[in-house]
Structure 1
Amino acid sequence: MQVRNDHPRRSQKRRRKRFPWGDIVATLLVVAICVYVFMSFGEKTPDEETPVRGTSAPTTTQAQDNVQVGILAESTQPTLSDIDWNLVLVNHENAIPENYEINLVEVAGGEKVDERIYDPLMEMLEAAKEGNWDQLPMVVSGYRTQAKQQKLFDDKVAKYQNEGHSKSEAEEMAKQWGAVPGYSEHQIGLAVDINGATYDLYFWLQENSYKYGFIFRYPGYKTELTGVAEEVWHYRYVGVEAATEMYEKGLCLEEYLAERQEEK
């Protein structure tokens, strides 16, 4: 380290010439620091880059939704290898997992569902015919694409805006009645909306759907947990074992998965 000697009472005549070791050491130190800074911050490989959110706007709404799904799924959702396919949690806080794949099959009426739930769904609808309804129960909404879910959500927002609500208010209200694109169970093909001639059909489904692996997904008294207002028509496949336990304990899917996590 270089030491400066500039005391006013020292005589210049008393100084002796020295080799400038201090200057050399200081110069080498500065050079070393510059090299370190350059190596540390001057270059980064793509894998080392930290994702920056909100720095550039995607060109389309759908592109923006897809980006959001990727980010949130990575931070809030376990990988599919860590969970059973029938218990994947998709709600207002958990996006569809990245690279989620689905094989679809068509049901009567033209709607489509994950092929793995086709047989139990048909068995449940067949059993529901015993109610002698004037109109047989049928699936009126199954799998939805990102574009379709976006349109449904946008239409709901527009409806509330037309009633005099601000855009932010309308969006919050719409979330109570429909999922934000990328956060809908309909987009994973495991959920169906069922319709019939009378309301009694829904009482039958609430009491019997678990036998076929389905749950009444959005009861009104669970809204604080599910984030969705009551939808008597919406049923979600989780498998007979899980559905039976949820039915017997009065649990929604969020509660059931939380219990499973605590048991591990």
Structure 2
Amino acid sequence: MNERNDKQYERYRRLRKRKTNRPIILILTFSIIMIAIAILGSLLLKGSEEHVILNPTDTQPGLTLDDDISSGIEESGKQQSSTDDTEWNLTLVNKWNPIPDNYEINLVEVPGGEKVDERIYEPLMEMLEAAKKENWDQLPKVVSGYRTQEKQQKFYDEKIAEYKQQGYSENEAVEQAKQWVAVPGYSEHQIGIAVDINGATYDLYFWLQENSYKYGFIFRYPAGKTDVTGTAEEVWHYRYVGVEVATEMYEQGLCLEEYLDRIEK
């Protein structure tokens, strides 16, 4: 009996010892797993950091390679757009400078039936609406927008005929007409970014002279600039150049020829 009891006690002692050690084993196993996870996470984080673009000029830390490429494409597109804008809205067309070869234009109709370059439609309508709200009950009307070569030729020929009827010689009539109607191929109307505007009263023109620059338009042919522009004063004729340029020209009292001459130097 004693020997049996001893064997049973020994078995009980071993079982108890095994149960006592089980929590310790579980704790050690859990600790080892957590350490392994921490080490693996550290290695993954270090690997991801190697793909970050480090640029002292970046204002957004953590810019990835894909973000940098995407940003570069967007900036390139913006720059290209800006260049294109400069080419079209500062195109110089006057009695000495014809319309550039292969000049392309997409037209859109404005109230009244005239058409303009689609790129000036929104600022033009904003300007006309502002004029209406400020001083008049009706929208100022675009009486002349884009002109074809044939239409410009018609206006030109009619003006010459008008002076001839007044007794001018052929040459004299031509010279007089050139001051009021551009020679076909030399008119801003043929590039679609110039408009002639009429309103209910003459006061509209004073408002336009003081406010058109806010919408990117300039009073194209002032009285004091005839020698520079080559055209007599036309209070109704407004040309789009963009808000920034129009503002600078307005503040400095420049016509388009003077502005372009200044930025080219």
8 Å CA contact 2:117, 2:193 repeated in 1: yes
Calculate the TM-score normalised by the size of structure 1: 0.67
Separation in structure 2 between the aligned mates of residue 173 and residue 244 of structure 1, nearest angstrom = 32
Separation in structure 2 between the aligned mates of residue 126 and residue 111 of structure 1, nearest angstrom = 17
Separation in structure 2 between the aligned mates of residue 236 and residue 152 of structure 1, nearest angstrom = 19
How big is the shift at 1:138? 1.3
- Aligned CA RMSD, in angstroms, stands at 1.5
- 1:233 corresponds to: 236
- 1:202 corresponds to: 205
Change (3 A) 1:258 1:178: same
- 2:252 corresponds to: 249
- 1:106 corresponds to: 109
Partner SS state of residue 100, structure 1: coil
Partner SS state of residue 120, structure 2: helix
8 Å CA contact 1:217, 1:235 repeated in 2: yes
8 Å CA contact 1:222, 1:252 repeated in 2: yes
How big is the shift at 1:197? 0.9
Determine if the alignment matches structure 1 residue 139 to structure 2 residue 136: no
- 1:92 corresponds to: 95
Determine if the alignment matches structure 1 residue 213 to structure 2 residue 186: no
Q: State which of 124, 127, 131 in structure 2 corresponds to 1:128.
A: 131
How big is the shift at 1:242? 0.5
Alignment of 1:1-264 (within 5 A): 84-262=87-265
Which amino acid letter does the alignment assign opposite residue 161 of structure 1? Answer: K
Larger radius of gyration: 2
Partner SS state of residue 189, structure 2: helix
Partner SS state of residue 171, structure 2: helix
Separation in structure 2 between the aligned mates of residue 134 and residue 116 of structure 1, nearest angstrom = 27
How big is the shift at 1:164? 1.0
Which amino acid letter does the alignment assign opposite residue 179 of structure 1? Answer: A
Q: Per-residue CA shift, 1:168-210, capped at 9, x if unaligned?
A: 1000000111100000000000000010011110110000000
Separation in structure 1 between the aligned mates of residue 210 and residue 264 of structure 2, nearest angstrom = 27
Partner SS state of residue 84, structure 1: helix
8 Å CA contact 2:216, 2:245 repeated in 1: yes
Unaligned runs of 5+ in 1: 1-79
Separation in structure 1 between the aligned mates of residue 127 and residue 111 of structure 2, nearest angstrom = 14
Change (3 A) 1:82 1:97: farther
Change (3 A) 1:103 1:213: same
8 Å CA contact 1:109, 1:139 repeated in 2: yes
Calculate the TM-score normalised by the size of structure 2: 0.67
Change (3 A) 1:151 1:138: same
How big is the shift at 1:133? 1.9
How big is the shift at 1:132? 3.4
Separation in structure 2 between the aligned mates of residue 217 and residue 163 of structure 1, nearest angstrom = 28
8 Å CA contact 2:132, 2:138 repeated in 1: no
How big is the shift at 1:83? 5.1
8 Å CA contact 1:131, 1:201 repeated in 2: no
Which amino acid letter does the alignment assign opposite residue 236 of structure 1? Answer: R
Which amino acid letter does the alignment assign opposite residue 96 of structure 1? Answer: I
Greater share of helix: 2
Change (3 A) 1:173 1:146: same
How big is the shift at 1:130? 2.0
Identity %: 77
